[in-house]
Structure 1
Amino acid sequence: MVEADVWQDGKPYERYVGRWSRLVAAKFVDVLDAAPGIRWLDVGCGTGALTSAVIERWAPSSIVGIDPSEGFLATARERPDIAGRDEARFLVGDAEHLPIPDDSADAIVSGLLLNFLPDAAAAVAEFTRVAAPGALVAAYVWDYAGEMQMLRTFWDVAVALDPEAAELDEGRRFALCRPEPLRQLWSRAPGMDVATVRIKSIEIGMTFADFDDLWDPFLGGQGPAPTYLQSMTDGSRAAIRDRMREETSFGCRPDGSIMLRARAWVVVGRLG
């Protein structure tokens, strides 16, 4: 049985995935055909990486971040690049029942969320409900089954040592995180102009100071892999750690740092 993924504490999440989400978010906002001074909605805003990127790149008139985790929202509100910004506010809520009225956003974005939702189609229908006519609707997810080497290596190692971990593997669980399923999800959304739907890719490098900088964030308990590790014995965790050290040696550089690659898939469209 797939264990419930834990998303409660923003600080360990920042060290685990948040720091890499910031790099993707900065590239994501650059590929959007947006404009300054419009109303934005960031669904599943988490610790605020994408919200911050939108503010910096597009100078919105307003931006609302929505997330079900009060712990993550607390971290977002405290970000130095967001705290005190009058145009930004954060609300507790879930993607399938957005706590905002119809036609209230000119751009709806979502980062690293869709695959964790019970009903992604219902969520995207909510995106289009709150979107104004002609609004931009866009999202990105990790390429879990392919070029997300940090997680791909972890799950390959975990499954080799514990075959039961296969059902937890994000690459297997999240079939949505591929170009064609994303295209279909957007194309079938109510009111979407199918001719505007596009799939793009974003690639980043993940530079870890050393192996501890790569491994220790997996012990923070936030997300599928860390949640899985918390259920293991000390000996099993150590076995995964040691094997992962071996399997990531291809990325080692002379100074002891480790360079891995990551790719995110982007889906973009506009309402008719």
Structure 2
Amino acid sequence: MAHDVWAAGDAYQRYVGRWSRPVAEAFVRWLDLPAGGRWLDVGCGTGVLTAAVPAGEVVGVDPSGPFLEVASAAVPGAEFHQADARELPFPDRSFDVVVSGLALNFVPEPERAVAEFARVGSTVAAYVWDYAEGMAMMRHFWDAAADLDPAAAELDEGRRFPVCAPQPLSRLWTDAGLRQVEVRDITVQTVFSDFDDYWTPFLGGTGPAPGYAMSLDESHRAELREELRSRLVAGPDGRISLPARAWAVRGLH
């Protein structure tokens, strides 16, 4: 089983956190819920989704202390707790809305987490990256890594996280007793100023792909870098633009 390292909030921001904000904003627009109320952000990470919700009161929980430090500084009006998504430290029906952004697939037992979401909230919604097909910056990385090192395929999020697709997400929500379940895609563009802007964040070590990159010795890491450089097509201005798709789901208790 792969061990995912989530030890540095600033490294996560440089890697994929910077692309999380437009997805979070699109997700909140899709929910189209009234401003105010009490919201819970489960797996809040560095607080990107927490900052986007139109809540009167917002609480964030995450198992990573370093991520919570970044979130507390980024969203000073919110309340944060270190907690496991499978055992939320809140009473039944204590939130109007429970949301989770780009985190559910990292919970070892996602069905337990969604049951907890439904226990403490009325509206329950989440989104995850489409690792298998729609998150191009990671898809290119793992395809190149597996071509050079077949063992890398076992670490690929597209293989490890089958929950990140419409039918599994819908089933999780339905099995948790939620009704009016709806799933949709949210797609944004990840635009890199040049190849180094794409590659350098993989050297931060935070997340599955950066963790794999930094597990390689210098020569194999350089080989992976050059393989990726050969695969990515830049525009006339040197920029590299790649689509990033997430799947979003919502339901009512």
Structure 2 stretches of 5 or more lacking a match? none
Q: Deviations over 1:8-61 (max 9, x none)?
A: 11001001010011110010000004111111000000000000111xxx2x12
CA drift at 1:100: 1.5
Give the Cα separation in 2 of the matches to 1:248 and 1:176. Answer: 28
Tell me the TM-score normalized by structure 2: 0.98
> Which residue is 2:124 aligned to?
137
Q: Is the 8 A contact 1:138 1:266 kept in 2?
A: yes
- 1:41 maps onto 2:40 in alignment: yes
Give the Cα separation in 1 of the matches to 2:166 and 2:127. Answer: 11
Paired residue secondary structure (1:31): helix
> Which residue is 2:67 aligned to?
72
Q: Is the 8 A contact 1:67 1:73 kept in 2?
A: yes
Task: Please tell me the root mean square deviation across aligned C-alpha atoms, in Å.
Answer: 0.9
Give the Cα separation in 2 of the matches to 1:122 and 1:231. Answer: 32
Q: Is the 8 A contact 1:34 1:136 kept in 2?
A: no
The aligned amino acid for 1:48 is G
- 1:52 maps onto 2:51 in alignment: yes
> Which residue is 2:24 aligned to?
25
**Which 4+ stretches in 1 moved above 6 angstroms?**
none
Give the Cα separation in 1 of the matches to 2:212 and 2:35. Answer: 42
Q: Which of these residues, 104, 108, 111, is aligned with residue 118 of structure 1?
A: 108
Q: Which of these residues, 142, 151, 167, is aligned with residue 138 of structure 2?
A: 151
1:90-239 mapped onto 2 (5 Å cutoff): 90-131=80-121, 135-189=122-176, 191-193=177-179, 196-239=180-223
1:76-87 mapped onto 2 (5 Å cutoff): 76-79=71-74, 82-83=75-76, 85=77
> Which residue is 1:253 aligned to?
235
- 1:270 maps onto 2:252 in alignment: yes
Q: Count residues with an aligned counterpart.
A: 253
Aligned residues with identical type, % of pairs = 55
- Bigger shift: residues 4-13 or 33-42: 33-42
Q: Deviations over 1:61-99 (max 9, x none)?
A: 2100000111001001111xx22x2xx111100100111
Give the Cα separation in 1 of the matches to 2:2 and 2:252. Answer: 36
